[in-house]
Chain A
Amino acid sequence: MVNKSPTNPVVLAAQAAFYGLFAAIIGYFSTSPDYRHLEADKALIKLSFAYHGEPVGECRERTPEELAKLAPNMRTAKVCPRERSPITVKLDLDGKTLYEGAVQPAGLSKDGASTLYRRFEVPAGEHLVSVKMNDNVRVQGFNLVKEEKMSLKPAQILVVDVRKDQGGIFFE
């Protein structure tokens, strides 16, 4: 029978060993093994925007009859369709397509912003980055275009965004 007295050296040594094991398990998995999120020679392109497309139809003036039917406080002459155009987007890298698709506007009436977030791991180095968008269903083809030769360092993040106050597509 083992003497379980707390002063028994064997018991104390066993307790110390278990506490040591506990510390080792906590300490090791608290920081190890290392995790490599991105390969050393890679960079990241983030295609991300929250952008309101153009209305799907033209705005028009209400007729006097139409205005008369409205409550006095609702009588605005100009009426525009609520629904926004989906954003068609194409991202090419060195002529190779990374992403192509149409992003629908949010909301039940499709009157919200079209939002997108995509990440692409690409080799670091010089690349021709080409982004084309269409934000208006009444316009054929891409009405927003940006193409630029970029030098991407390892681990660098290139954000591709679009904002009206920035003049359209921009790289950051």
Chain B
Amino acid sequence: MRAIEAVREGGLRLQQRIESLFDAVFGAAGNPLRHLGALGFYFVWVTLATGIYLFIVLDTGIEEIHTSIQYYTHEQWWLGGIMRSLHRYAADALVLVMVLHLLRELLYGRYNGFRWYSWISGVPTIWLVYASGIGGYWLVWDQLGLFSALASAEWFDWLPIFSDPATRNFLPGVLNDRFFTLLIFLHIGIPLLLLLSLWVHIQRVSQADVFPARPLALGTLATLLALSLVKPTVSHGKADLSLVPELLHIDWYYLFVHPLMYLTSPAALWALAGAFTLLLLILPLLPHPKPAPIAVVNPPNCNGCRRCFVDCPYGAVAMLPHPDKPGHELARVIPELCASCGICAGACPSSTPFRSVEQLVTGIDMPQQPVGALREEMERKIAALAGPVKIAVFGCECAAAAPGLEGPDTAVLNLMCSGLLPPSFVEYALRGGADGVLVTGCREGSCAYRFGTRWTEERLAGRREPHLRPTVPAERLRLIWADSHELSGLKAELDDFRHSLQSLDADEKRPRAYTPRRIAQHG
């Protein structure tokens, strides 16, 4: 198990480096590697949209089906031909992003705990993608379609489910028009099931990323369009049941299973497919770290503002009628959905450290890192700082290891997720003695809890509640997103921030000092 874990961690580091490279080119919002799921959805929409047109112009007669496809491929290349190519290439791209999405989530270890549902529901989706795609090749009814249909039939005939072998349907004189009507029915029905499966797949994530950013969507579509013009999809010769198709220009994204079967056997292919499916299904059951304590609602401090409900990335917070205050609501955590990220605590307006209560208890909190304990730790660490420029760093356990930045003039508070940081903590640190505050966390798209980075950025920029007060000078706050392999870059940014703070006058744009009893105590 240790060897497998080492391989996974090595793979993850490589993955993150590649993602960082793509960030530099596309930006996090447009980085295709950070939005593989959204791209998958997008390619499904493209295949559905083009498929509607292809269905309209398709003639499903046994003699006419190939002819009608040939017509719109060659005679009507400017519309039908392009639609066909887009249909094909978007379907291929779907497989590519699906495999990358699976690999990425595997490397990030996102298959157990509260994520089991999304992982397990993704498994039938893979089968449906292949069933949809392979069925599409049969419809063309060229030599490749015949080869695929026959190979699939031979594969299914290995199962003792047909009284009459399915392969006998492809003997000369057996097929008729009804076969293609059935194929059309399947090629529409299975993709609809795929859509249903995708809908199920994202049920436990709120605000699912199902459409890529506009530049990425347009860039990808333009690429597929250009490919369709440069290398239009064409058919093989018409299917002939009396001849074996010899040389085939096979689509390896979908049809690799057929050569694999002929290289081994139908039984071996079933064993491989079954083992792969089983492996994916049992992954969430394999030993994994004990789940962390979930968020806890403290009713006296919850005013029912709904911010935790809105910000929770997994829909784990529900709002229920308050039992004692008619017309008010109270947050409630749904245990099986809670990711233990603490983003809800960062969203709670009761998390402000400026509250004068001795024991700071917020409306929704994490038992393993309560906001009150965080305030105490911050006060203690800031009071202990020495040097001309004192900096408070709020780090993230999942990102570059911020504790490595700690020093006599630098206090580090490592959070479970950067999203746990209530924005008022930044002002509190500045007014409590820090000259600057550096907030760091995972790059967007890398956040283990989806929205930690985005919500933090929006809260600190004043675009999301609870927001950082505009009186806090921007010069004294820096946000650096750095994944776990980017500690050296984070250190360099900290040094740069320190120099920048040194250039500011001591009182320049500094929030009024706030010397509560608590900091004085630690001092």
Using a CB–CB cutoff of 8 Å, the interface residues on chain A facing chain B are: 2, 4, 6, 11, 14-15, 18-20, 22-23, 25-27, 29-38, 40, 43-44, 46, 48, 50, 106, 112-113, 115-117, 119, 154-157, 159, 161, 172
Contact = CB atoms under 8 A, between A and B. Distances in A.
B147 interface: yes
Contacts of B244: 37-38, 43-44, 155-157
B163 interface: yes
Central interface residue in A2, A34, A113, by most chain B CB within 10 Å:
A34
Q: 5 tightest CB-CB pairs across the interface, nearest first? A: A31-B249, A14-B25, A35-B250, A117-B165, A19-B223
B89 interface: yes
Contacts of A116: 165
Nearest to A32: B249
A117 B219 CA distance: 49
Contacts of A29: 92, 251-253
B88 A159 contact: no
A172 B164 contact: no
Contacts of B25: 11, 14-15, 18
B168 interface: yes
18 contacts: A19-B222, A19-B223, A26-B224, A26-B227, A29-B252, A30-B92, A31-B231, A32-B249, A34-B249, A36-B248, A37-B147, A37-B248, A38-B245, A50-B168, A155-B243, A156-B244, A159-B171, A159-B172
Given A19-B223, A34-B247, A113 B163 contact: yes
Given A18-B22, A37-B247, A159-B172, 18 more contacts: A2-B24, A18-B25, A19-B220, A20-B223, A22-B93, A23-B226, A25-B96, A26-B96, A27-B227, A27-B231, A35-B248, A35-B250, A48-B165, A48-B167, A113-B164, A117-B154, A117-B165, A159-B171
Contacts of A37: 147, 244-248, 262
Contacts of A119: 154
Contacts of B163: 106, 112-113, 115
B157 interface: yes
B250 A34 contact: yes
- Grouping DSSP codes into helix (H, G, I), strand (E, B) and loop, the B interface class, with mixed when no group exceeds half, is helix
Nearest to A31: B249
Contacts of B223: 19-20, 22-23
B241 interface: yes
Central interface residue in A22, A34, A112, A156, by most chain B CB within 10 Å:
A22
A2 B241 CA distance: 59
A172 B215 contact: no
Contacts of A156: 242-244
Contacts of A112: 163
Given A19-B219, A37-B244, A155-B244, A115 B165 contact: yes
Given A23-B227, A27-B231, A48 B250 contact: no
A113 B172 CA distance: 20
A156 B243 CA distance: 5
A158 to B, nearest CB: 9
Contacts of A2: 24
Interface string B212-248: 0001000110111011001101000000011111111
A108 to B, nearest CB: 12
Contacts of B92: 26, 29-30
B114 interface: no
Contacts of A4: 24, 27
Interface in B326-357: none
A36 B164 contact: no
A44 B25 CA distance: 53
Contacts of A154: 246
B259 interface: yes
A30 B219 contact: no
Nearest to A153: B243
Contacts of B252: 29-30, 32-33
B88 A30 contact: yes
A115 B166 CA distance: 11
B312 to A, nearest CB: 31
Contacts of A117: 154, 157, 165, 167-168
Nearest to B25: A14
A37 B22 CA distance: 39
A6 B26 CA distance: 8
A136 B400 CA distance: 78
A161 to B, nearest CB: 7
B93 A34 contact: no
Contacts of A32: 249, 252
A25 B96 CA distance: 9
Contacts of B259: 35
B251 to A, nearest CB: 5
Contacts of A172: 171-173
Given A26-B89, A29-B252, A155 B246 contact: yes
A115 B161 CA distance: 12
Nearest to B153: A117
A113 B162 CA distance: 11
Contacts of A26: 89, 92-93, 96, 224, 227
Contact of B171 (A25, A36, A161): A161
Contacts of B172: 159, 172
Contact of A38 (B167, B230, B246, B249): B246
A29 B251 CA distance: 6
B255 to A, nearest CB: 8
A155 B230 CA distance: 32
Given A48-B171, A50-B165, A157-B243, A34 B248 contact: yes
Nearest to B93: A26
